[in-house]
Amino acid sequence: MKIAIVGAGLAGLCAAHGLLEAGAGDITVFEHREGPGLETSHANGALLHPSAVDPWNSPGILRFLLTNLGNERSPVLLRLRALPSLLGWGTRFVRESSPGRHRAHTLANVHLALRSVQLMAGLREQGLEYGAAQRGSISIYRDASAFAMGQEQARWLQSHGVPSRVLSRDELLAMEPAIEPVAATLAGAWHNERDESGDAYRFCQALGARLASRGVVFRWNTAVEALLAERGAGRGAARETLRGLRLAGGREESFDAVVLAAAWWSVTLAAPVGLNLPVRPAKGYSLTLTLPADGPQPRTPILDNGLHIAVVPVVGGRLRVAGTAEFCGEDRRIDPGRIGNLRQLLLQVYPALAEQAARVPMQEWTGLRPMCADGKPLIGATRVAGLYLNTGHGQIGWTTGAASGELLAAAVMRQPPPIDAAPFLPARFGL
């Protein structure tokens, strides 16, 4: 079987790896950039977090978005200019936010995340190096009621295989001494034991190199213009069948199967063959600073649930600050105000870094996360024969990447899936 994968970020690379492991042997990856992991995967939150895979459309999200219209400090910001592109998608986004549906979607994501963490351990055992750390993460709370609600959620997650434990103040400081300046102001904290961290870009580079050494062909600087499909022949045949790709410049190439793993851009490619993917871009931001040797040296990822940010140590003496979501259409500009928010939020977690943060350069980044309307990725076959999806992961792409690639491969190779694939099938949207 001759297989094409569109996109060489985390989703595309993990799909290629999954296919190789499943026995596929003729795989070509098309990427419009000059190398792997240069778009949405490049400078993400650096955290693999089975403890926090609940979709962003939590109960009450509509009221929250409307209340915070125009509030530049809101962790989730809806810009009015994006409303026309969100109307149909937004209706489904809100409908899926009921407590029962939200919990079911969270549980499906938990299963995918736990399988992914297991697969990542296997990759490390095989020698794949990406600056991984298995220190877990620490969730901190500044409000007693929020901490109580968080504990309830943590207990529910524990019953589904995501262990955590409440930390005393001494235990918190032993695990993360750099948090000491704000420790007295916290209502509580706990340790998410299965969470991991690592450099996603470094992972993409390492996995890409391994895939190339095993025969996967990478076509860098090669944009895919369109999917080529044709109506089936014969009486009553209505199903379209994919026959290949048209590349930039008009060149056409034939494939037996095509995997769309191009994040938000998968929507544009799928539309002409009749697939309206329920995926919209949610812009995320991050800051990365190199820690001076004479300053605090955070060592454990911190999730601040009140400020809605993650602060994660990254290999190479760096600190990654990631957070916020902005529904603003395809606008990829770095908004100075949103970046300024991240700087201020960092100092609320680590005020002792104020002097250092003012004198060291910071890498500013933004990326368009592909957000599916129900908060779960689209993985598997579509109604266009030969066309498969691995997109729509939103903020959990790094956390669920390896398992998503494995599920995708099972669908393409028609093998039994390792976990229940039903929650992620494109068919749930009629695709």
Reply yes or no on whether the pLDDT at 225 is more than 80: yes
DSSP secondary structure letters along 27-54: EEEE-SSSSTT-STTTT---EE-GGG--
Which of 65-74, 124-133, 190-199 is predicted with the least confidence, judged by mean pLDDT?
65-74
Structure tokens at 34: 């000059």
CA dist 14 → 21, 212, 230, 275, 403 (Å): 10, 13, 28, 23, 8
**Phi (first) and psi of residue 381, to 5 degrees:** -75, 155
Pairing verdict, β 257-260 and 2-6: parallel
Task: Give the residue-averaged pLDDT of 199-216.
Answer: 98
pLDDT digits over 76-118, tens only?
778 877 777 788 898 899 999 999 999 999 999 999 999 999 9
SS3 state at 264: helix
Q: Whole-model pTM?
A: 0.94
Residue 225 in contact with residue 246, Cβ under 8 Å?
yes
When the pLDDT of each residue in the chain is averaged and rounded to a whole number, the result is: 92
Query: What is the C-alpha separation between 176 and 192, in angstroms, rounded?
Result: 13
For residue 279, give the DSSP letter: E
Query: What is the C-alpha separation between 256 and 386, in angstroms, rounded?
Result: 6
| Domains delineated in the chain | 2-41+203-279+375-429 (3.50.50.60), 51-84+134-196+280-372 (3.30.9.10)
Q: Among 417, 377, 385, which Cα is nearest to 277's?
A: 377
Beta-carbon neighbour count of residue 209 at 10 Å? 13
Task: Give the residue-averaged pLDDT of 227-234.
Answer: 78
Task: Give the residue-averaged pLDDT of 168-175.
Answer: 95
Reply yes or no on whether the pLDDT at 236 is more than 50: no
**49 CB-near residues (< 8 Å, 6+ apart):** 113, 137, 192, 195, 303, 310, 396, 399
SS3 state at 174: helix
Task: Give the residue-averaged pLDDT of 248-264.
Answer: 96
The sign of the CA dihedral 401, 404, 408, 413 is: positive
Query: What is the C-alpha separation between 62 and 65, in angstroms, rounded?
Result: 5
Identify the top-confidence range among 41-45, 238-242, 306-310, 405-409.
Answer: 405-409
pLDDT digits over 321-337, tens only?
998 888 888 888 888 88
pLDDT at 344: 87
Query: What is the C-alpha separation between 272 and 52, in angstroms, rounded?
Result: 35
**388 CB-near residues (< 8 Å, 6+ apart):** 257, 258, 259, 260, 380, 381, 382, 408, 411, 412
